[in-house]
Amino acid sequence: MAYQQLFELETYLQAKKVQVEAALAEAVTLEQPASLRQAMEYSLLVGGKRLRPVLCLASCELAGGEPRLALPTACALEMIHTMSLIHDDLPAMDDDDLRRGRPTNHKMFGEAMAILAGDALLCQAFEMVAGRSSGVPAQRLLAVTAELARAAGAPGLVGGQVVDLDSEGKRVPLETLEFIHLHKTAALLEVSVISGALIAGAAEALVADLRRYARNIGLAFQIIDDILDVTADSATLGKTAGKDLLTEKSTYPALLGLEASRRSATQLITAAKAALAPQGEAARPLLALADFITTRNH
């Protein structure tokens, strides 16, 4: 990608991110109980790439929609993502103490509050779409709500997390690993892209192309996450990566090796971009986002 384009993407992402963060900062309007609001906002307003909301806004724009109309849905996507991080970090799940360098929600507010803050964010996500999106035809919002419910629930995030927990400490086949990632990561990225287009009233053919784009970047995203985990671990542990791969929990690098994983991610990104070829110039932000996913280092 040329320097000029990179610069433009940075500007584009930054502008969208600012827009999303302003909307998120105003989203939790709950007054009582203040402790619940605090726990919700602690994890929601912590920053991060805001990749899901930005994908939603960019896809709305590509489909000819006013991104402003997709802003409540963009917030909903970040709420669902945040909720899944809060619940996954719980002692009964991955038992993590730190998230983005700060104490996890349950370390800060206790387990009960962390469970409830997650539940509250999940509910508010649906309220954002169904109750706080003005100017969008009801039929479109209903379709987004249904897609979102599937992506967040048993056929998506939750199902992926169940299989992930069940696979801990086991060597699982590539098929299982793909199931986990398609559900745990790709499903929400897919609805992030699709929802923006649905809100804009995109034609079925465009929605199908965007779905293909989204599935491919979703899987690539997770492979790259796995690669980054491994390379980070190697550096920290000061051991050769190869040895760790044999003993660690199942990841793409562990199952395929580092080089094959990298090739696989690159192929997926290429396929993702090919899906948007019919859109020409208008697809540039989404193409750039696909590149951003491949080249990110955290």
Site string for a second copy, 237-276 (x = CB under 8 A): ----------------------------------------
Quote the least distance from Cβ 29 to a second copy, whole Å: 9
Cα–Cα dist 239/225, whole Å? 20
Q: Please state, in angstroms and as integers, the Cα–Cα distance from residue 68 to each residue in 36, 112, 179, following that order.
A: 28, 35, 34
Stretch that binds a second copy, among 55-63, 90-98, 235-243, 253-261 (CB under 8 A): 90-98
Burial (CB count within 10 angstroms: exposed 0-12, middle 13-18, buried 19+), residue 37? middle
Query: Which is closer to a second copy, CB of 37 or CB of 211?
Result: 37
SS3 27: helix
Radius of gyration of the chain (CA): 19
* Min CB(244)–a second copy separation in Å: 25
Does residue 30 interact with a second copy by CB under 8 A? yes
Which one, 138 or 246, has the nearer CB to a second copy? Answer: 138
Cα angle for residues 9, 25, 74 (degrees, 5° grid): 50
| Contact call for residue 218 and a second copy (CB under 8 A) | no
Site residues (CB under 8 A) for a second copy, limited to 111-140: 111-113, 115-116, 118-120, 122-127, 129-132, 137-139
> How long a stretch of residues is the chain?
298
Q: How far is the CB of 76 from a second copy (least distance, A)?
A: 10
ω into 155 cis (within 30 of 0): no
| Nearer Cβ to a second copy (118/253) | 118
C-alpha distance across the termini of the chain, in Å:
20
Q: How far is residue 75's CA from residue 181's CA, in Å, rounded to a whole number?
A: 23
**Contact positions toward a second copy, by CB under 8 A?**
28, 30, 32-33, 35-37, 40, 83, 87, 90, 92-93, 110-113, 115-116, 118-120, 122-127, 129-132, 137-139, 141-143, 145-146, 148-150, 152-155, 158-159, 161-163, 165-166, 179
